[in-house]
Structure 1
Amino acid sequence: MGVNERYTQWKTLVPVLYDWLANHNLVWPSLSCRWGPQLEQATYKNRQRLYLSEQTDGSVPNTLVIANCEVVKPRVAAAEHISQFNEEARSPFVKKYKTIIHPGEVNRIRELPQNTNIVATHTDSPDVLIWDVDSQPNRHAVLGATESCPDLILTGHKDDAEFALAMCPTEPFVLSGGKDKLVVLWSIQDHISTLAAEPGLSKSPGSGGFPNKSASKAGGGNDKRTKSPSIGPRDVYQGHTDTVEDVQFCPSSAQEFCSVGDDSCLVLWDARAGCTPVVKVEKAHNTDLHCVDWNPHDVNLILTGSADNSVHMFDRRNLNLGGVGAPVHKFEGHNAAVLCVQWSPDKSSVFGTSAEDGILNIWDYEKIGKKQDSTGLKVPTAPPGLFFRHAGHRDKVVDFHWNASDPWTIVSVSDDGESTGGGGTLQIWRMIDLIHRAEEDVLVELENFKSHILACERIHLLGDLLENFRCF
């Protein structure tokens, strides 16, 4: 099935598959998307920050965009509203709030868990940039505009940092990897403490972030600083033999982290044990590794995604000092390189994967080995563990992020500008809860409302249809 045919079929199923979906055509491609803090809660919608990058063609500067997003609550959106969207339109649910003129492309965005108004960005240089988005002035991205001034520059890489970037869940630490084959660790708490001791600096009201050297308001104006402060690394870790593509902290320890790279290796590090690998899995995949994530609910489980189209799940208890150990499972549901993996914050066994095939798959490893119901319909058998496919993008899904404030809600971006008449596509979506809830609960609800749902003559027919749609 071709991409256009698959997309057309997917559109017809949107009212059945989704509780809510917002489609937003981007002016410029975005390489990264991240949820920020929740700003307001209301009866039917919540308002939340959203961080995006804009990768331009040089006619205007590259930017880091801070948007305000209205997130519709579960079971509020009407099916007819969900199904009526225009690929070439910009969603009213996503509104640009502030623009930061970024020095170079924004390759990766990561927010600080202790204060999600503070974000780190990677660009096409060795530096990692730290921004307090509340205190940064709003800028107009026009040709010739001067770059915004980062609140802090992290130095230490010897070559471009590119994509490997992570923030620690427990401490204000930043982790990065790059073309120099290094993994570099910084503490930005040291910087905050230093600035707090300097006279004449004040924080942005309510931000809890860095002291604000410019008094510019969000509505406009230029940052008056001419030079950003910079700090060197806390430690530098050597063990990869090629570009480090992704890094991730252990959710329960600021001292433990992992990295993957183009050398096909998964490396586990412990800062207390020095700057060399604790465990190095030499052949985590058969080719380049693009992404890694550490389970926030079970710190023994680590996911890796690769150019070999697969995702591997490792149990670190099975890995010895020599790095010998096979993945506990291989997930094969993509037809192209996997670009992003992320565990769900809502259920410990669920995770998402996105790839160059334009698909964002949702998996549950607890479903592996369970017998699938026979439907009698001619649909492909789903790979073990796969229970939902988001096929709303028509080119590679370069990034996605689960929403920790609104359960089962995901933002995803794709590089499909030629298909949409714009720069790419951003989608915010939430699958219908009948798909991920416990089967016994779903059957009870369907039985109670069977006379009102799709005019089905028999309730088990609807159950069969949903079972097939789950792995469309």
Structure 2
Amino acid sequence: MEEGNSIIYGLEHQTRALSPQYGESDAIRFLIGTQNLKPQANQVHVVELEEDTGALHTKVFKHEIGEIWHLRCSPHDVATLLTTHNAFDPNSSQCTMGVTIFKLPTVEVIPKDLDDLSAIQGRNAEDMELLKTITSEKPEEEIRCAEWHPTDPNRIGVVYEGSLRVHDVNTGAAVATTAPEGRARLKFTGGKWNPHQGHTQFAVLQDMHIKCYDTRADSNKPSWSIDNAHRQLARDLDFNPNRQFHLATAGDDAALNIWDYRNGKEPIFNRTDHSHWVWSVRYNSYHEQLLLTGSSDARALLTAAASVCRDLDDEAARLSQVLEDGVLQSYEQHEDSVYCAEWSAAEPWTFASLSYDARLVLSRVPRHFKYKILL
């Protein structure tokens, strides 16, 4: 991929689910889930970027179980993924949601020879192996998302609209349940595992607030919380991979906030560079001062938060700020809401953004910012 040029991959159906292939350390791969209302029409696309040439290679798999609202690749097995999906049930005449774990028949995307290329070009969408489906006890209850446990391949956290449950992957049974107190409790809208604190905490978005629960036992009281993290609905969160008390949040107030949850009264970093709802926020796994956001203003932004990523006890680090805080680059190749923006799991300078108009844009951090960080 040449400096400054993004690569666009178009799909046939609308999309809002994207995940890097976390278990892959060599190839730059992303998985996309489609959101088509037609029965048995949805797919999972595996997209691989050939770094030297900028060529894209893809494979397409069937996802006949329903439209995909959320997708996560397993950090434990490169071929395993889970989808949060919605489908119309003709028996009950209503839509039901579920979480399904799949296994890809192959992780190879780039053909090894001409025979492989001919075979791929002549094939339609392939089948994935369905390993397990988890559904709500109440068919009408919405499922917001599902996240793999960071270290235990047999556990996933599932965020329902009224509770958080940790499920056993093999049996599907809930092994821990969290439901907030109060009759008029606000609904959950998403969440994520805390990669620190022994991997026992799961933080959820609850309207404008952030609540974090200990998953080792059933609980209805949070371990910590950030009230009024946003002036409107909180849409996404991501933990700083290097600083155990820092997390970033995004919301309908068009804001990107960074918090130290030990004192959550005010954010330690705040930007409102988007002009509409911010759906996604992600820390770079290697360089914590780089953050990605995606918004309904049809833009993905690369933002620097260097001022809150320095060690203030180190005088040299305190005096030298590698990047200036603020937007480094705006990516405007989309024409609809950017629901997801994700860093590559294999290459720290490459990322992808996905919009509802079925457009995946792969980009790289501009070279001069990269050199500022490295040199």
Retained in 1: the 8 A contact 2:284–2:348?
Answer: no
* C-alpha displacement of 1:148: 6.6
Matches of 1:402 and 1:255, distance apart in 2: 24
State the alpha-carbon separation in 2 of the partners of residues 51 and 311 from structure 1. Answer: 25
**Residue number in structure 2 paired with 1:397:** 338
Aligned equivalent of 1:171? 152
TM-score by length of 1: 0.64
Give the whole-Å Cα distance in 2 for the aligned partners of 1:429 and 1:246.
26
Counterpart residue number, 1:359: 299
1:93 to 56, 70, 74: 56
Residue 366 of structure 1 deviates from its aligned partner by 1.3
- TM-score scaled by length of structure 2: 0.79
Q: Deviations over 1:226-280 (max 9, x none)?
A: xxxx52211111128233221111113321120103x211001112464121223
Give the match for residue 259 of structure 1: 204
Equivalent position to 2:175, from 224, 230, 234: 234
When residues 163 and 346 of structure 1 are mapped into structure 2, their CA distance, relative to the original with a 3 A threshold, is same
Aligned counterpart for 1:290 among listed residues 224, 235, 240: 235
Q: Is the 8 A contact 1:156 1:232 kept in 2?
A: no
Separation in structure 2 between the aligned mates of residue 434 and residue 287 of structure 1, nearest angstrom = 36
- In structure 1, what residue type is equivalent to 2:19? R
Cα displacement (A) at 1:21: 2.3
Cα distance in 2 for residues equivalent to 1:57 and 1:156: 21
Query: What SS class does the counterpart of residue 273 from structure 2 fall into?
Result: coil
Structure with greater proportional strand content: 2
Secondary structure, counterpart of 1:116 in structure 2: coil
Number of the residue aligned with 1:33: 18
The structure that has the greater radius of gyration is 1
1:46-195 equivalences in 2 (<5 Å): 47-58=27-38, 61-65=41-45, 67-73=46-52, 93-96=56-59, 98-124=60-86, 125-134=96-105, 150-156=130-136, 158=138, 159-172=140-153, 173-179=155-161, 181-188=162-169, 191=170
Does the CA-based 8 Å contact 1:38-1:48 persist in structure 2? no
Contact 2:23 2:76 in 1 (8 A): no
Secondary structure of 2:144 counterpart: coil
Judged with a 3 Å threshold, the aligned counterparts in structure 2 of structure 1 residues 235 and 439 are, in CA distance, closer, same or farther, namely closer
Partner in structure 2 of residue 334 of structure 1: 274
SS in 2 for 1:438: helix
Q: Percent identity?
A: 17
Q: Give how far 1:126 is off.
A: 3.7
Shift of 1:326: 2.1
Q: Which letter does structure 1 place at the counterpart of 2:15?
A: S
Distance apart, 1:156 and its partner CA: 4.3
Quickly say closer, same or farther: Cα 1:148–1:431, change in 2 above 3 A.
Answer: closer
Q: Distance in 1 between matches of 2:25 and 2:225?
A: 44
Residue type of the partner of 2:277? A
Q: Secondary structure at the match of 1:231?
A: coil
Unaligned runs of 5+ in 1: 1-13, 42-46, 78-91, 192-229, 320-324, 371-382, 417-423, 442-472
CA distance in structure 2 between the aligned counterparts of 1:297 and 1:115, rounded to whole angstroms = 23
- Alignment partner of 2:187 out of 237, 243, 246: 243
Residue 157 of structure 1 deviates from its aligned partner by 5.5
Amino acid at match of 1:150: L
Q: 1:384 to 1:95 in 2, by over 3 A?
A: same
Distance 2:10 2:165 in 1: 36
Contact preservation (8 Å) 1:156, 1:184: no
Q: Deviations over 1:129-154 (max 9, x none)?
A: 11112379x99569xxxx97621122
What is the Cα deviation at residue 310 of structure 1? 0.7
Matched, 1:348 2:288: yes
* Structure 2 counterpart of 1:201: none
User: 1:40, CA displacement in angstroms?
Assistant: 9.4
Q: CA deviation at 1:343?
A: 0.8
Equivalent residue of 1:185, what SS? Answer: strand
Q: Quote how far apart the aligned CAs of 1:57 are.
A: 4.4
Change (3 A) 1:342 1:37: closer
2:40 and 2:63 in contact (8 A); partners too:
no
Distance in 2 between the 1:170 and 1:329 partners? 30
**Equivalents in 2 of 1:69, 1:149: separation in Å?**
21
Q: Which has the higher helix share?
A: 1
Query: For the structure 1 residues 33 and 439, does the alpha-carbon distance in structure 2 shift closer, same or farther, using more than 3 Å as the test?
Result: closer
User: Residue type matched to 2:12 in 1?
Assistant: V
1:25, 1:425 within 8 Å by CA — same for their partners in 2?
Answer: yes
Distance 1:401 1:369, change over 3 A: closer
Aligned length: 333
Aligned counterpart in structure 2 of residue 437 of structure 1, from 345, 356, 371: 371
- CA RMSD between the two structures: 3.2
Amino acid in structure 1 at the alignment position of 2:356: D
Change (3 A) 1:32 1:429: same
- Tell me, yes or no, if the aligned pair for 1:32 and 1:400 is still in contact at 8 Å: no
2:328 to 363, 387, 394: 387
